[in-house]
């Protein structure tokens, strides 16, 4: 669609480059070049004497003055004027090879040459300044394009020639010598799944004469993919024939990755908020059913809500990626005296938990600690609590987390006649939500709880 009307015999290979830097204005090098220009012009004029005679003695000096002024600036141009007059006076005016008196015709020639040469110098100096400003502007533009990962291009539709600036080459990770020279070479840089789309968009733009904006994936020589945004428009001749397209390409890979991550985070946040609200709702309903009074409901519900909040705080510190098991245990036991290494001990391997694992285990530890404070080892000053955990692999080679909660030296305990909400919450957290197993041993010396939880790396 891009090049159905383009002769295949045309070759291409042009790229835009920075302006060649001029010789520093009025420098010794520029002065030397002015002397050289006049010397060459004098030699050429002497060689022409046999052909044109003494007529137009300054005919070769005007190009010398122009060249000196363009290359070197104002003062080299003025120096070239003076040297041209001196050289012509000495070598061409009668008597030759001597600075004799000038005739009226010679004086007239000198005056007209000076006026014309001064005009040439002024114009050339102005042109030089314009070229310098243009070069500076292009340098600034290229710097801006490089900084913004933007490049510009031009496609000669009739000859199928593509021109890229250096910034454009950087966008596609290419050197200037490896830039595409025609449409087909450029198409080879586009992801195969996006080529037909790009052809259709550009073909419609040429047909309808409109500015287009579109995005596509580019495949770099090393195999890396980049997202590119392009804005371009066609240009036509007075008869409406498409001449060329001009445009700019912007590397939007970082933006695309950010958008993708943002979408993923929003989806994940929505999922987690729903889960958290469902957990809070379940806690509220079950706590209300098992509470004998509004005061008891408020106390129990707030305690469980704070346990959930403590784990949330730990997950927030890692942007909801994972939480340390030891930190989860410490956070849930802090309201009950904390892990002091004497009365309450905790020991185990370094384990990172996924968000749902951390929340479920946090609620389970909270219920166990609450029961220990009310009825178990933490209800007496002599009681002790030990929490240990370890990692092992099951028969399939998958990691398993083993947790041992052991109370001792507290009041005698017995298996409850009926299962309360706290026990059901522990069972739901470990068995139903994490797919694990739990064993409660109400030994007379103290409660022992063993938990086995499937564990995958967060």
pLDDT in tens, 7-57: 333 333 333 333 345 556 668 888 998 899 999 999 999 988 888 888 889
Q: Are 345 and 376 contained in the same domain?
A: yes
Alpha carbon distance 360, 430 (integer Å): 7
Average pLDDT of 413-425?
79
Q: Are 243 and 269 contained in the same domain?
A: no
Q: Are 292 and 433 contained in the same domain?
A: yes
Does position 457 have pLDDT exceeding 70, yes or no?
Answer: no
DSSP letters, 255-316, are HHHHHHHHHHHHHHHHHHHHHHHHHHHHHHHHHHHH-SSHHHHHHHHHHHHHHHHHHHHHHH
Q: CATH number for the domain including 235?
A: 3.30.450.20
Q: Which run of H or of E encompasses 388?
A: strand 384-393
C-beta of residue 88 within 8 angstroms of C-beta of residue 60: no
How many domains, the chain?
3
Q: Which pLDDT band, with edges at 50, 70 and 90, does 6 fall under?
A: very low
Tell me which of 174 and 273 has the higher pLDDT.
174
Answer whether residue 8 is part of any domain. no
Answer whether residue 107 is part of any domain. yes
Does position 283 have pLDDT exceeding 70, yes or no?
Answer: no
Q: Are 138 and 155 contained in the same domain?
A: no
C-beta of residue 218 within 8 angstroms of C-beta of residue 191: yes
**Nearest residue to 11 (alpha-carbon basis) of 184, 249, 170, 192:** 184
Answer whether residue 313 is part of any domain. yes
Direct distance between the N- and C-terminal alpha carbons of the chain, in angstroms, rounded to an integer: 49
- For helices 294-317 and 325-333, angle between their N-to-C axes, nearest 10 degrees: 150
Q: CATH number for the domain including 391?
A: 3.30.565.10
Q: What range defines the domain where residue 233 resides? A: 148-251
Average confidence score pLDDT of the chain = 84
Does position 400 have pLDDT exceeding 80, yes or no?
Answer: yes
Task: State the pLDDT at residue 101.
Answer: 85
Please name every residue paired with 154 in a beta bridge, in sequence order, or none if there are none.
163, 246
Q: Are 201 and 320 contained in the same domain?
A: no
C-beta of residue 68 within 8 angstroms of C-beta of residue 83: no
Taking only the tens place, the pLDDT of each residue in 143-185 is 776 777 788 899 999 999 999 988 888 889 888 788 899 999 9
Q: Are 350 and 426 contained in the same domain?
A: yes
Does position 387 have pLDDT exceeding 90, yes or no?
Answer: yes
Tell me which of 86 and 318 has the higher pLDDT.
86
Task: State the pLDDT at residue 298.
Answer: 86
Q: Are 404 and 267 contained in the same domain?
A: yes
Task: State the pLDDT at residue 9.
Answer: 33
Q: Are 160 and 132 contained in the same domain?
A: no
CA distances from 127 to 106, 133, 137, 235, 302 (A): 31, 10, 15, 29, 82
Summary count for the chain: helices (H), strands (E): 12, 13
State which of 145, 171, 188 marks the end of a domain. 145
Task: State the pLDDT at residue 268.
Answer: 65
Q: Which pLDDT band, with edges at 50, 70 and 90, does 213 fall under?
A: very high
Answer whether residue 14 is part of any domain. no
- Residue 137 CB contacts under 8 Å (≥ 6 apart), including other chains: none
State which of 233, 251, 269 marks the end of a domain. 251
Q: Are 207 and 245 contained in the same domain?
A: yes
- b/e string for 305-335 if b means 16 or more Cβ within 10 A? eebbebbbebbeeeebebbbbbbbbbbbbee
Answer whether residue 10 is part of any domain. no
Q: Are 217 and 358 contained in the same domain?
A: no
C-beta of residue 328 within 8 angstroms of C-beta of residue 361: yes
Taking only the tens place, the pLDDT of each residue in 86-130 is 999 888 887 878 787 888 888 898 999 999 999 999 998 888 888
- b/e string for 22-52 if b means 16 or more Cβ within 10 A? ebebeeeebbebbeebbeebbeebeeeeeee
- Residue 352 CB contacts under 8 Å (≥ 6 apart), including other chains: 322, 323, 324, 325, 457, 458
Does position 414 have pLDDT exceeding 70, yes or no?
Answer: yes
Q: Are 272 and 348 contained in the same domain?
A: yes
Answer whether residue 256 is part of any domain. no
Q: Which pLDDT band, with edges at 50, 70 and 90, does 2 fall under?
A: low
Please name every residue paired with 348 in a beta bridge, in sequence order, or none if there are none.
389
- Residue 328 CB contacts under 8 Å (≥ 6 apart), including other chains: 311, 314, 353, 358, 361, 362, 365
Task: State the pLDDT at residue 221.
Answer: 83
Task: State the pLDDT at residue 17.
Answer: 38
Does position 279 have pLDDT exceeding 70, yes or no?
Answer: no
Q: Are 203 and 114 contained in the same domain?
A: no
**Nearest residue to 138 (alpha-carbon basis) of 38, 57, 17:** 17
Parallel/antiparallel/unpaired status of strands 384-393 and 344-348: parallel
Answer whether residue 23 is part of any domain. no
Task: State the pLDDT at residue 272.
Answer: 63
Average pLDDT of 328-350?
89
Tell me which of 86 and 132 has the higher pLDDT.
86
Task: State the pLDDT at residue 22.
Answer: 56
Share of the chain above pLDDT 70, in %: 91
Answer whether residue 20 is part of any domain. no
State which of 98, 125, 145 marks the end of a domain. 145
Alpha carbon distance 208, 206 (integer Å): 6
């Amino acid at each position: 669609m891009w090049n159905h009307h383009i002769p295949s015999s045309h070759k291409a290979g042009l790229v835009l480059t920075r302006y060649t830097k001029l010789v520093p204005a009025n420098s010794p090098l520029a002065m030397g070049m002015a002397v050289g220009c006049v010397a060459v012009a004098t030699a050429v004029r002497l060689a022409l004497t046999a052909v044109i005679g003494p007529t137009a003695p300054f005919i070769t000096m005007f190009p010398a003055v122009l060249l000196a002024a363009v290359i070197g600036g104002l003062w080299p141009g003025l120096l070239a004027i003076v040297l041209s007059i001196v050289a012509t006076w000495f070598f061409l005016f009668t008597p030759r090879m001597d600075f004799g008196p000038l005739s009226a015709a010679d004086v007239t020639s000198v005056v007209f040459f000076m006026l014309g040469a001064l005009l040439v110098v002024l114009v050339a100096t102005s042109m030089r300044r314009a070229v310098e400003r243009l070069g500076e502007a292009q340098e600034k533009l290229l710097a801006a394009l490089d900084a913004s990962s933007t490049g510009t291009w031009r496609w000669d539709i009739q000859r199928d020639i593509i021109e890229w600036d250096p910034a454009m080459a950087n966008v596609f990770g290419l050197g200037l010598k490896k830039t595409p020279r025609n449409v087909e070479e450029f198409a080879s840089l586009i992801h195969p799944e996006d080529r037909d789309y790009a052809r259709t968009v550009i073909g419609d733009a040429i047909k309808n004469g409109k500015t287009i904006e579109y995005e596509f994936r580019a495949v770099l020589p090393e195999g890396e993919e980049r997202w590119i945004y392009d804005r371009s428009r066609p240009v036509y001749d007075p008869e409406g024939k498409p001449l060329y397209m001009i445009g700019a390409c912007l590397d939007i890979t970082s933006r695309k990755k950010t958008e993708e991550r943002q979408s993923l985070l929003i989806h994940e946040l929505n999922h987690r908020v729903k889960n958290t609200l469902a957990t809070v709702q379940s806690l509220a309903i079950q706590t209300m059913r098992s509470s004998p009074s509004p005061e008891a409901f408020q106390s129990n519900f707030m305690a469980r809500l704070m346990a959930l909040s403590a784990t949330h705080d730990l997950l927030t510190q890692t942007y909801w990626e994972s939480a340390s098991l030891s930190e989860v245990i410490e956070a849930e036991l802090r309201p009950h005296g904390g892990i002091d290494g004497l009365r309450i001990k905790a020991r185990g391997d370094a384990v990172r938990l996924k968000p749902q694992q951390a929340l479920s285990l946090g609620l389970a530890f909270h219920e166990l600690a609450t029961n220990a404070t009310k009825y178990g080892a933490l209800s007496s000053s002599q009681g002790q609590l030990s929490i240990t955990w370890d990692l092992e692999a099951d028969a399939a080679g998958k990691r398993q987390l083993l947790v041992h909660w052991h109370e001792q030296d507290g009041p005698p305990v017995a298996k409850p006649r009926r299962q309360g909400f706290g026990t059901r919450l522990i069972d739901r957290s470990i068995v139903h939500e994490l797919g694990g197993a739990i064993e409660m041993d109400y030994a007379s010396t103290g409660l022992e709880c063993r938990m086995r939880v499937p564990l995958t790396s967060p």
